[in-house]
Structure 1
């Protein structure tokens, strides 16, 4: 089981903005070339994304389904990589002062990934997770902060 964490210098709502955008999935998930909504309204429970991964010169297609969604605190996904099997990916999003602590926990559920699961694959997952959390942090921290509620002009006051 691969568990990794990262402190992101923005509040949980900013992290959630990136995680809840289905098109941005490929921007932070290492190995994913593109992603698009497949069914439902991402990230509601049961919604799914289709994604493409390039491996050994071939495009592989997979799906990721939302299994648990508690904005802006938790997102649990099941990634189905076809013959490679399925994996559970849990993102725990915790306020940490003015920042956010993101804890990523991934482990295989079914298929080849579960059958071949070992310490070497866990070490590789740790490297992948470090990259994913670094990408997520960069996307969140580089985004323009949303204006405070009272600072927006032209509203109707409610």
Structure 2
């Protein structure tokens, strides 16, 4: 499992507001390029985002589904990216005196990604998730102003 953390200069409410707006997904998730549909129940358990990964003309349409959701505290997602496989992503929010710490963990759950050694997964996933949290911070900090 690859885990990254970032303290965001915004309250957990503002961070959650970004996570809860499915249409913002490609704004903070590195690799997601566009939204096609957001289930009305997002970010409730079982709700899905229908998004595309990549750039034109090499777009891959897929989904991300909520596995667990505790508003303003935790969001667990199953992200599909076939033919590469599926990953489970866990975002944990902890209110701090100076904002909100977000911990993002990711692990390959199925497909070819599961065959990649954890050290190699870390080399690929860590920089992407560091950038995703940086983008999430920009959005949440702007939301809180």
TM-score norm. by structure 1 comes to 0.86
Write the distance in 1 (CA, Å) between the matches of 2:131 and 2:103. Answer: 13
Q: How many residues align?
A: 145
Where relative contact order (Cα < 8 A, 6+ residues apart) is larger, the structure is 2
Provide, for residues 91-146 of structure 1, a one-character-per-residue CA deviation record: whole Å limited to 9, x for no partner. Answer: 0000011410000000000111112244122112110011000000011112254x
Runs of 4+ in 1 over 6 A off after TM superposition: none
Write the distance in 2 (CA, Å) between the matches of 1:49 and 1:56. Answer: 19
Alignment gaps of 5+ in structure 2: none
- Give the structure 2 partner of residue 65 of structure 1: 65
RMSD, matched Cα: 1.6
8 Å contact from structure 1 (residues 22, 36) kept in 2: no
Write the distance in 2 (CA, Å) between the matches of 1:144 and 1:73. Answer: 17
- Give the structure 2 partner of residue 108 of structure 1: 108
Write the distance in 1 (CA, Å) between the matches of 2:136 and 2:39. Answer: 23
TM-score norm. by structure 2 comes to 0.93
Write the distance in 2 (CA, Å) between the matches of 1:39 and 1:117. Answer: 34
1:34 aligns with 2:41: no
Alignment gaps of 5+ in structure 1: 146-158
8 Å contact from structure 1 (residues 40, 46) kept in 2: no
| Structure ID, larger Rg | 1
From the superposition, tell whether residues 17 and 36 of structure 1 become closer, same or farther in structure 2 (CA, over 3 Å).
farther
1:123 aligns with 2:123: yes
Q: How does 1:139-150 map to 2 (within 5 A)?
A: 139-145=139-145
